[in-house]
Structures are given as structure tokens and as C-alpha cells.
Amino acid sequence: MIIVIDGPAGSGKSSTARAIADRLDIEYLDSGALYRTATLIYLEANRDEDTFFRLLNQKKISFYYEDQKFHVAVDGQSVTDEIRTAEVTGAVSEVAALPRVRSFVNNLMRDVVLDGIYVAEGRDLGTAVFPDAELKFFMSADLEERAKRRFKERKDQNPELTLKEVKQNIAERDLKDSKRQADPLKKADEAIEIDTTNLTFEQQVDKICSKIREVL
């Protein structure tokens, strides 16, 4: 069984999906983390596509959710922190636009969800990856609000970061993610839209959890 949450960067998908997984004791799948992992390999290949695809097919990518964190390893080596660097964030939309990367990530996800109950979050899960998902949500929020949340999350690790920079990065990424040819960021027609601009974190989790409980 799979429940999907799509939406733009900073809409609160990850924190909400993690809280839901904990509260309902179900599995969590972060598709963005898998695109970030592919991006790490792309950067390791010095952006050379032939080398990149060779490495991508050779390496073993594994992932699991534990202690409120989605962990990813490449050939047994953890990359959980490396996939969150500014360099990876800056390149990920370019890599995620490659159709071969999308089918690679989609196959990884489709294989893993065959067993168990999952809440998965991303951009195209309801439209392209899991069109038959039991429940679909699309989370949104004003750009200003999303930028403020991301800035608050990141500023301790990166004291030089500015709100303006975060806002610009999110806006650029959203534009690339929604304009790309291959499975762009898009709300599925039947997805329940949750605008979190004026909701507290608890309210958004409660809202989605109560809908999920109806289908569990």
C-alpha cells in the first residue's frame, strides 16, 4: 500500500511525511534523497554523462528510515549527510531532468514498496510513479513562507546563508522541476491539496493522518 505526498521545495512534505510515518508506524520513502544520491554520483563523475551512467549502474544504492532520518548508502558507505550539501542541491534538478535517471530512481522505489505500507514524498509520485496510490496529497505554501522555513532549518549549519539566497534557490528549483519534459512537478487531478501557508505543523500532520486512517 502506498500513500504519496507531492509538492514544491519547502512545502513541508518531508517533515510531515516523517511525522506521519512515526505516528502511524508505517514506512517512509524520500524520493528526493534518491535523486540527490544520483546527483552525488554525477558530481563524482565530473558531470560526464557516460561515466555517470556507468557508475550509477555499477553502484549499489540502499536506503532505510530510522531515528526520524532517511538514510542512504552507496556501496555500503553512508551518504546521508553528503546528499544535503549546497553543491548537490544546486545540481539536483539538472540531474533529475534526465529521463534515464528518473527511470532508475522509479525502479528502485517500485521494487521496495512491494512489501509493507509506505508514505512516500516527491514531485511526480501521484502523476507518474504511483498513479494507483491509495491516497494522494499535494502540499503547497507561499514561496515566502517556504523560504522562511528552509532558512530556519539551515541557518545553524550555514551561518552565511541569507533568506534571499534560500528564496532564490527554491524558486529556481521549482521552475526547473515544473518546466522539465520528463515527469514534471504537478498535482495529480485526484490529489487532496493541502495549503500549509497558514497551518501549524501539528495541524497539517493531523489533517493528513485523519485522511490516511480512513483507508488503513
Binding footprint of ligand C5P on the chain (CB under 6 A) = 9, 31-32, 35-36, 92-93, 96, 122-125, 173, 177
Nearer to ligand C5P, 86 or 216 (CB): 86
* 13 is known to lie in a ligand binding site: yes
Taking only Cα atoms into account, the Rg of the chain, rounded to an integer number of angstroms, comes to 17
Nearer to ligand C5P, 153 or 213 (CB): 153
In the chain, the amino acid numbered 195 is D
Q: How many CB atoms lie within 10 A of CB 193?
A: 11
* 8 is known to lie in a ligand binding site: yes
- The answer to whether 68 and 15 have CB atoms below 8 angstroms apart is no
Q: How far is the CB of 59 from ligand C5P (least distance, A)?
A: 18
In DSSP terms, 2 is beta-bridged to 118
* 140 is known to lie in a ligand binding site: no
Nearer to ligand C5P, 9 or 72 (CB): 9
Q: State the Cα–Cα distance between residues 145 and 147, nearest whole angstrom.
A: 5
Q: How far is the CB of 35 from ligand C5P (least distance, A)?
A: 4
Q: State the Cα–Cα distance between residues 187 and 214, nearest whole angstrom.
A: 22
Q: How far is the CB of 30 from ligand C5P (least distance, A)?
A: 7
Q: How far is the CB of 47 from ligand C5P (least distance, A)?
A: 16
- Within 13 A of 214's CA, how many CA atoms are on the CB side? 7
Q: How many CB atoms lie within 10 A of CB 84?
A: 13
* 31 is known to lie in a ligand binding site: no
* CA nearest to 34, candidates 61, 53, 16: 61
Nearer to ligand C5P, 35 or 118 (CB): 35
* 9 is known to lie in a ligand binding site: yes
Annotated binding site: 7-15
Annotated binding site for ATP: 7-15
